[in-house]
Amino acid sequence: MSYPLPRLMNKISTDNQPVIVTVPPTTVSRYLEASENVEQRLGASPGPEFLMSLAVEHEDAFELVDLFCGEIIDALRQPNAAAH
C-alpha cells in the first residue's frame, strides 16, 4: 500500500526540513534536564535539540489541533472573554 507524500507549500518534499522555532524557557530547561538524565544513564547524550526532534516526530499533530482549539474555545467561553 502506498501513501501520498505530504505537500508543503505546493511542492512535494521527501527530505527532512530544518525548522527554527521559539521555545519557552521552561520547555528548554525540561529538555536540558532530560538530556542530562540520558547522559547520567548512558554516559553521553545526543543533546536537548535531538530529544526535542524526537518528541516532535512522535507527536500526533491532530491531538495538538484538538488541544489548541479546545483551549481557544474554553477561553472564549469565559465570562470576561467578551470584554477583551
User: Is there a contact between 52 and 32 (Cβ–Cβ < 8 Å)?
Assistant: no
Q: Read out DSSP for 22-39?
A: ---HHHHHHHHHHHHHHH
The residue to which cell 508543503 is assigned: 8
Is 2 contained in some domain? no
pLDDT at 53: 86
Phi-psi sector, 16: left (phi>0), alpha (psi -120 to 50), beta:
beta
Number of domain units in the chain: 1
Indicate the pairing of strand 7-8 with strand 11-12: antiparallel
Is 13 contained in some domain? no
Residue 8 φ/ψ, nearest 5 degrees: -120, 115
pLDDT at 12: 53
pLDDT for residue 58 is more than 90: no
Q: 6-54: per-residue pLDDT in tens?
A: 454 555 565 777 778 888 899 999 999 999 999 999 999 999 989 988 8
pLDDT for residue 69 is more than 70: yes
Residue 57 belongs to domain spanning:
23-83
Is 5 contained in some domain? no
